[in-house]
Amino acid sequence: MQIPKQALILRIFIGENDKDVSRPLYEAIVLKAREMHLAGATVLRGAMGYGHSSRLHTSKILRLSEDLPLVIEIVDGEEKINAFLPVLNDMMTSGLITLEKVQVLQYGSDNKQ
pTM: 0.86
28 found inside a domain: yes
38 found inside a domain: yes
Residue 112 pLDDT exceeds 70: no
2 found inside a domain: no
14-58: pLDDT as tens digits:
999 999 988 999 999 999 999 999 999 999 998 888 877 777 777
Higher per-residue pLDDT: 105 or 63: 105
How far is Cα 83 from Cα 101, in angstroms, rounded to an integer? Answer: 16
Which residues constitute the domain of residue 58? 19-103
How far is Cα 34 from Cα 29, in angstroms, rounded to an integer? Answer: 9
Using 50, 70 and 90 to split pLDDT, how confident is the model at 8? Answer: very high
CATH classification at residue 72: 3.30.70.120
How far is Cα 47 from Cα 108, in angstroms, rounded to an integer? Answer: 29
Number of domains in the chain: 1
9 found inside a domain: no
